[in-house]
Amino acid sequence: MAEDQTHPVIEITDLSFAWRSQQPVLDIERFAVQAGERLFLHGPSGSGKSTLLGVLAGVLMANRGTITVLGQDLRRLSAARRDQFRSEHIGIIFQMFNLLPYLSLVDNVTLPCRFSKHRRARLGTDSAALDQEAKRLLERLRLPEEALSRRDVTELSVGQQQRVAAARALIGSPELVIADEPTSSLDADARGSFIDLLSEECAKAKTTLLFVSHDLSLAERFGRTVDLMEINRVPLDRKVA
């Protein structure tokens, strides 16, 4: 790692976040993720994981500190610009229920390109190329042929749904993918293969991956592990879940 001193994708200094006027739930002195890194962020529930991800994605606004993502200080951006920034540069995978039930499989995957001209432009302008890329990603993520032909995304298994969500996070090659407990509803076998496929695709697209989970057994699959309990100076028992 020493010879690969790249620029940081995420850089947090002296962050403090509190809901309304309550006690802070996050107090982080320093946290950084380098470009191309695949980082495992470990934290039990209630440790402020979701709050931190909200701050990084620009949905929540820190009370204090500098949050720099891709060289952009999020606190200096307006709410609208932060939303725009998220759509251009960040792909997000949730624990479950990632898909919009009223859109087709391919439409779910290409949805980020409707919100971001930037990500769309990387794939060419015509919608055929967009669908093509969605299908390519789904194939790469080993979504079975029979699942691809399903019209209704709610008919997919949870594991298949998570792969579709991964394809959606990856389409248009955003610089950063944030995965929030994406494997906690999968069984052990599926977990491993999901993480491997996700890592592989991120590496290909030179996308930084921030993988968040309470399950420490997954840590071995990542380049580096950070424990949120260690960097967050707010003790667990002080926090509101």
Tell the smallest beta-carbon distance from residue 180 to other proteins (Å).
8
Write out the H or E segment, with its range, that includes residue 216. Answer: none
**What is the spatial distance between Cα 3 and Cα 97, in angstroms, rounded to a whole number?**
40
Tell the smallest beta-carbon distance from residue 217 to other proteins (Å).
24
Q: What phi and psi, each to the nearest 5 degrees, are found at residue 174? A: -70, 155
**What is the spatial distance between Cα 68 and Cα 127, in angstroms, rounded to a whole number?**
33
Output 30 or 76, the one with its CB closest to other proteins: 76
Q: Are 140 and 201 spatial neighbours (Cβ–Cβ below 8 Å)? A: yes
Output 34 or 89, the one with its CB closest to other proteins: 89
Q: Which residues bind other proteins (CB under 8 A)?
A: 50, 53-54, 57, 59-60, 79-80, 83-84, 86-88, 92, 94-103, 111-112, 114-116, 168, 180
Tell the smallest beta-carbon distance from residue 176 to other proteins (Å).
13
Output 116 or 160, the one with its CB closest to other proteins: 116
* Strand 24-34 relative to strand 38-42, pairing: unpaired
Output 57 or 234, the one with its CB closest to other proteins: 57
At 199, is the secondary structure helix, strand, or coil? Answer: helix
Output 99 or 166, the one with its CB closest to other proteins: 99
Closest residue by Cα to residue 177 from 143, 142, 214, 202 = 202
**What is the spatial distance between Cα 135 and Cα 76, in angstroms, rounded to a whole number?**
37
DSSP state of 58: T
